[in-house]
C-alpha cells in the first residue's frame, strides 16, 4: 500500500469514526444524573479522549526529543516538534471542553484543582516549545534546547494523572475500577469510540505536522544552498 493510499484510508476511517461518535453520543448514550452535569455530561466523550490524545502526542514528543538528543537528525527533530504542536492542540481541546462541562457539574468554569492546574502547566510547557521554535530559528542548539524542554515537559504527564489521587480537589479520577460514574454500558461504549476516534485523529495530525516540518526543513536547506550559489539574496 502506498503512503498516499494509507493516508487517505486513515482520513476516511477517522471521518467515519467521527460520524459514529457523534451519532452514538447523540442517540445511544443516556443523559447522566444532574450531579454529573445532566446533558452536559456528554462533553465527557470528547473531553477525556482529548486528554488521552494529549498524553499520546506528549509521549511522541518525548520519544522524538530523547532520540534527537541521543543522535541528532532532521526526522527525529520533526517528530519531536510535531508531537509538541499536536499536544498543544489536544490540550486546548481539553481545556476548553472541561470548563464548559464544569460550569454545569461544579457551578464554575474553573477552579485551581490539582489536576486542572497541572494540566494547564503541561499545556503551557508544550506551548512554550512551539513558541520557542517559532521565534529562535531552527539551528542545532535551538533544536537541542527544544528537545530538552520536550523531555522535561513529559515528566509532568504522570503527575497530572496521579494528582487527583494524591491531593484534594474536585476532578474525579474518571477511569478506575470504581470511578467515572459510567453506570450504563452505552456510556462505556461511547467512551471507547471516543478513544478510537482520537487515536486516529492524533496519528493523522502527527503525520500531517511531521510532513510539514520535514518540508520546511528541506526548504531551508535548499534556501541556504541557493544563497551559497548566489541564486538568492541573503
Partner 1 sequence: MSDPTEAKTLSPADRSAEFVPVEGGNDDTSAGALLVTAYLVAWAVLFAFVVSTWRKQQSTLEKLSRLDRAISEGVPDKD
Binding site residues, partner 1, CB under 8 A: 22, 35-40, 42-43, 46-47, 50, 89, 92-93, 96-97, 100-101, 103-108, 111-113, 164-166, 168-174, 176, 178-181, 201, 205, 208-209, 211-212, 215-216, 218-219, 222-223, 225-226, 229-232
Q: The C-alpha cell of 114 is what?
A: 490539582
Minimal distance, residue 70 CB to partner 1, in Å: 28
Residue 151 vs 199, nearer CB to partner 1? 199
Residue 109 vs 192, nearer CB to partner 1? 109
Residue 188 vs 218, nearer CB to partner 1? 218
Minimal distance, residue 220 CB to partner 1, in Å: 10
Minimal distance, residue 71 CB to partner 1, in Å: 26
Write the DSSP assignment of 152-204 as a string of letters.
HHHHHHHHHHHHHHHS--S----SSSS-S---SHHHHHHHHHHHHHHHHHHHH
Q: How far apart are CA 141 and CA 147, in angstroms?
A: 10
Minimal distance, residue 185 CB to partner 1, in Å: 17
Residue 47 vs 76, nearer CB to partner 1? 47
Q: How far is CA 197 from CA 14, 49, 58, in A?
A: 6, 8, 18
Q: How far apart are CA 170 and CA 213, in angstroms?
A: 39
Q: How far apart are CA 214 and CA 86, in angstroms?
A: 15
Amino acid at each position: 500500500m502506498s503512503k498516499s493510499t494509507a493516508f487517505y484510508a486513515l482520513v476516511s476511517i477517522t471521518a467515519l469514526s467521527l460520524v459514529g461518535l457523534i451519532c452514538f453520543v447523540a442517540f445511544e448514550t443516556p443523559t447522566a444524573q444532574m450531579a454529573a452535569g445532566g446533558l452536559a455530561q456528554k462533553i465527557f466523550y470528547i473531553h477525556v479522549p482529548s486528554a488521552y490524545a494529549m498524553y499520546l502526542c506528549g509521549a511522541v514528543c518525548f520519544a522524538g526529543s530523547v532520540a534527537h538528543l541521543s543522535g541528532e537528525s532532521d526526522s527525529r527533530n520533526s517528530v519531536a516538534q510535531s508531537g509538541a504542536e499536536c499536544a498543544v492542540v489536544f490540550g486546548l481541546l481539553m481545556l476548553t471542553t472541561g470548563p464548559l462541562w464544569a460550569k454545569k457539574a461544579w457551578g464554575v468554569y474553573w477552579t485551581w484543582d490539582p489536576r486542572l492546574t497541572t494540566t494547564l502547566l503541561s499545556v503551557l510547557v508544550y506551548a512554550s516549545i512551539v513558541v520557542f521554535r517559532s521565534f529562535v530559528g531552527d539551528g542545532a542548539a535551538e533544536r537541542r534546547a527544544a528537545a530538552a524542554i520536550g523531555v522535561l515537559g513529559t515528566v509532568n504527564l504522570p503527575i497530572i494523572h496521579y494528582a487527583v489521587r494524591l491531593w484534594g480537589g474536585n476532578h474525579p479520577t474518571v477511569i478506575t475500577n470504581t470511578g467515572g460514574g459510567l453506570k450504563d454500558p452505552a456510556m462505556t461504549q461511547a467512551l471507547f469510540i471516543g478513544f478510537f476516534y482520537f487515536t486516529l485523529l492524533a496519528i493523522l495530525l502527527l503525520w500531517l505536522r511531521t510532513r510539514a516540518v520535514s518540508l520546511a526543513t528541506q526548504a531551508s536547506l535548499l534556501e541556504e544552498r541557493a544563497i551559497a550559489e548566489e541564486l538568492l539574496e541573503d
